[in-house]
Structure 1
Amino acid sequence: MGAIRTLRASPAIRNELKALEVSSRRAFSTQRPAVLGRIAWKKGGQSLRVVQENGLGSRGVTSGMQKPMGQTRLFSRSAPRWKLKTMEQIKARNRVGPLNLTAAVLFVATAAGLYAYFTNEKERMARHRIAQQTKGIGKPKVGGRFNLIDQDGNTFTSDDMSGRYALVYFGFTHCPDICPDELDKMALMYDKVVEKTGRVILPIMITCDPARDTPAVLKEYLAEFHPDIIGLTGSYENVKDTCKAYRVYFSTPPEVKPGQDYLVDHSIYFYLMDPEGDFVEAIGRNFTADAAAKVITDHIKDWEGPLKMQKKKDRWA
């Protein structure tokens, strides 16, 4: 045992160990082995040991009272994952991450767009179903051919509505309250529809009292509501046939004397007719002007065929 201690403590052996240490450090600086080694000894050469380390890096060779004999050398120059990052790096990572503010906004916008699309499509299909159900097979359910006279004394037939939508109302000029209210609403409806779609709709009032509602009376009366409203009258038989075609009920008191004032009982609806003369929808008193204008506008926008524009000078062109 004394010989071994002497051999370990000899200057030659110590020199060899130092040379081995320098060689090991040079090798570790150029390549990264899977298992690293470190040579260490206690002061005075009392013991000699090789310490095994993992691949994270060497802490240098120590001698004596843990005095370092070399600088700590890491075998990777990149920052470790556990190292704290800057705020800019954290924000950059959040911007490209799967769950961030941009992704949330895009998700909400896409969901809202899909909801609006399917809601509008559902409403469009409901309007289309209503329009198809009211179309006549052979003979129309509501509407048909007629031959009347307008407020200027010109002939006006059902063919004059071809190519445009028409909003048809039945009333009479001596009506005390209901007809004026409905004609005021018709004027508002018409203006709102024209604003959205152009002049592709004809507002028409057909009298149920041809005995008193002459063209001149209609012209003066309708001018108080809107200049574009068309007033139609004619013989009693022509008006009766027109009301029958539109399924409109009306009646006058029996045995009316000339010059006697009387009221006419009649149906109170607006009849929306499409450019082919087919009935689309009936608009009752429960509709406000805004709601009715929206219904009419939506039906017009659903129309896929051509539409004629009403002109100022020649409304029938």
Structure 2
Amino acid sequence: MAIFTSKLKMARRVMRAMSLLRQTRVSTARRMFSDAPPSRKRTEKFGPVTWTGLALAGVVSSGVVYYYYTEKDRLQTQSTSKVTSVGKPLLGGPWTLVDCDTRRAVTDASFRGKYALLYFGFTHCPDICPNELVRIGDVLDKLEAENCPEVVPLFVTVDPKRDTIAQMQIYKADFHPKFKMLTGTRDQIAEIAKAYRVYFSKADENDDDDDDYLVDHSIVMYLVGPDGEFLDFFTQAARVDDIAAKIKTYF
């Protein structure tokens, strides 16, 4: 940046010099075309040297200005590439849960070879989770309509106490038929939540009712590639069209 700043100062000095020389040129032209002949002293002062200097200054200033803008664009591009290449978050990792359809254990390796879209929630969620699952279904419909590679939607409960296999199967019926409903022990849920940095906590810790409570949790969709590696995430603010378009860039 110090080099860039010094070049900027140089360009500004040349600009000022050009402005002064333009004023000199105008003054000289007026004297040349006036009725009174110019004095020898003034003619010598503003003679060929002035015009040569003006031409030289024009060439130099043009080069400096061109270099200034070229260097500015290069530095901006370089800066942007550094920012965007800082990297995606280190999310994901091995996990083991239970598929509520087959009642068998599944792992992260069970979905290798396919794209997966993970969402963490709970079936007793009054509004946010249903809305997000509907949005995921809309994304899948858009991708399927364009014959894109299959994306498997995974719903991971953060409330394994109430979200039994039977409850998850009932809940699934209201959403896209391709949803895989996953549950597990508290430790298994904690493991995958930690891998994806998902926050969840019982909202009413002091509530005496053990079965009627809400769970605060992160509202994020996670895109995982066929190799099991995390690719991208989408927040509640992301539009369905934008999510689908972004996912297509990874195919």
Bin the TM-score by the shorter chain: 0.5 to 0.7
Offset at 1:194?
Answer: 2.1
Query: 2:10 maps to what in 1?
Result: none
Deviations 1:104-153 (A, max 9, x none): xxxxxxxxxxxxxxxxxxxxxx9xx67x9227xxxxx1111110001221
More helix by share: 2
2:109 aligns to what? 159
Contact 1:197 1:297 in 2 (8 A): no
Gaps of 5+ in 1: 1-125, 136-140, 301-317
> Which among 150, 157, 162 is matched to residue 200 of structure 1?
150
Aligned to 2:184: 234
Q: TM-score, normalised by structure 1?
A: 0.50
**Is 2:237 the counterpart of 1:283?**
no
Larger RCO, structure (CA 8 Å, separation 6 or more)? 2
| Alpha-carbon distance in 2 for matches of 1:218, 1:206 | 10
Structure 1 letter corresponding to 2:132: E
Matched, 1:134 2:83: no
- Secondary structure of 2:223's aligned partner: strand
- Supply the distance in 2 between the matched residues of 1:154 and 1:296 (Cα, whole angstroms): 29
Structure 1 residue 295 and structure 2 residue 249: aligned? no
Opposite residue 189 of structure 1, the aligned amino acid is V
Aligned pair count? Answer: 169
Task: Call closer, same or farther: CA 1:256–1:233 in 2, change over 3 Å.
Answer: farther
In structure 1, the residue matched to 2:223 is: 272
- 1-side partners of 2:187 and 2:208: how far apart? 19
Take 1:177 and 1:273, find their aligned partners in 2: how far apart are those partners? 25
* Offset of residue 179 of structure 1: 0.5
Q: Does 1:210 align with 2:160?
A: yes
Letter in 2 for 1:134: K
- TM-score, normalised via structure 2 length: 0.62
Write the distance in 1 (CA, Å) between the matches of 2:185 and 2:146. Answer: 37
Q: Which residue, 183, 197, 205 being the options, matches 1:254? A: 205
Query: Do the aligned partners of 1:196 and 1:297 also contact (CA within 8 Å) in 2?
Result: no
Cα deviation, residue 217, structure 1: 0.8
| Superposed CA RMSD | 2.3
Cα distance per residue 1:171-225 (max 9 Å; x no partner): 0000011001101101000111122244521111100100001111111101101
Would the aligned equivalents of 1:172 and 1:207 in 2 still touch at CA under 8 Å?
yes
Q: Name whichever of 256-265 and 226-235 sits farther off.
A: 256-265
